[in-house]
Amino acid sequence: EPEVTQTPSHQVTQMGQEVILRCVPISNHLYFYWYRQILGQKVEFLVSFYNNEISEKSEIFDDQFSVERPDGSNFTLKIRSTKLEDSAMYFCASSKGTGGTGELFFGEGSRLTVL
């Protein structure tokens, strides 16, 4: 069964360093998302991406964050200069279509620890 894959599963980095989290969405999906979950808190929407551009982003997704689909298969989330509060589990998701009823397929998550 097709699945969304994420790498790395866990990354530890120093504050101020750049981090890139990678995702390979399901191949025939067109819509891509990043969510994050800080330990003990809600899963929060970060950004959605369609047709090679950001469709929507949350207040969390500030100038330190960027997304890219560099080669038609990978979908990356970059954090330019990590802060302690960026420590979280980051989930990538993809879907075939939009609207209110479609299913999002999630990856297993990438745990980011900022020291």
Residue ranges binding another protein (CB under 8 A):
3-4, 6, 31, 33, 35, 37, 41-45, 48-50, 55-56, 91, 93, 98-109
Least distance in Å: CB of 79 to another protein? 20
User: Does residue 54 contact residue 67 with C-beta atoms inside 8 Å?
Assistant: yes
Least distance in Å: CB of 73 to another protein? 18
Q: Among 96, 64, 69, which residue's Cα sits nearest to residue 81?
A: 64
Least distance in Å: CB of 38 to another protein? 11
Least distance in Å: CB of 6 to another protein? 8
Q: Which is closer to another protein, CB of 16 or CB of 102?
A: 102
Q: What are phi and psi of 65, to 5 degrees?
A: -105, 145
Q: Which is closer to another protein, CB of 18 or CB of 56?
A: 56
Report CA-CA distances (Å) from 82 to 7, 16, 40, 85: 17, 5, 20, 8
Q: Which is closer to another protein, CB of 14 or CB of 101?
A: 101
